[in-house]
Amino acid sequence: MNIVKALRKKAGLQQKELAYMVDVSRPTVSEWENNKKDPSGERLKKLAQVFGVDELVILGVVPPDVGKQKDTPADRPPGLNDFLIELLVNSPDDRRQAILDFLKLPEEQAQRVIGYLAATKETAAAAPSDPPSGRPE
């Protein structure tokens, strides 16, 4: 079930009630619940306030039981949530989904992906570049 729908039902709210609380139309809430649109900006903040969770819960990055509002792990740098939210909200759909999928990986798999990306970056940096004109020198 979609997180917005699950949180709405848990709060005992109708779509129209939630829509009123976050200042959107009922069809917009329906689009969020059917994964046709993601809430962003001010609406994302309002949803988090209404449900008492972190914005990252609404975006599906952390589970609701972990993401109680103001529950920020001590080892998380200040401003990281804002950065992640900005990144997710402003990314194209395919990139956003890749970021969300990565964030949900178990630690061992995440470390493999990070290692792969680091190796790819090193390989790209070491590769000779083509002459700008495309003609042999």
CATH of the domain at 10: 1.10.260.40
Q: Is residue 15 within 8 Å of 26, Cβ to Cβ?
A: yes
Please give the single-letter amino acid code of residue 11. A
Each residue's pLDDT tens digit, 31-43: 999 988 888 888 8
Reply yes or no on whether the pLDDT at 56 is more than 80: yes
- Residue 53 gets which letter from DSSP? B
Query: According to the model, what pLDDT value does residue 70 have?
Result: 47
5 vs 61, higher pLDDT: 5
CA distances from 63 to 56, 69, 123 (A): 9, 12, 36
Each residue's pLDDT tens digit, 87-125: 776 777 778 778 777 777 777 887 888 888 778 877 777
Same domain, 2 and 62: yes
Assigned domain for 86 exists? no
Same domain, 64 and 105: no
What's the 3-state SS for 62-120? Answer: CCCCCCECCCCCCCCCCCHHHHHHHHHHHCCHHHHHHHHHHHCCCHHHHHHHHHHHHHH
Query: According to the model, what pLDDT value does residue 134 have?
Result: 53
Same domain, 69 and 6: yes
Q: Which domain holds residue 114?
A: 91-124
Q: Kindly report whether the global pTM for this prediction surpasses the value 0.95.
A: no
Residue 81 tokens, joined:
């949530």
Query: According to the model, what pLDDT value does residue 133 have?
Result: 54
18 vs 117, higher pLDDT: 18
Cβ neighbors of 5 (< 8 A, separation 6 or more) are 33
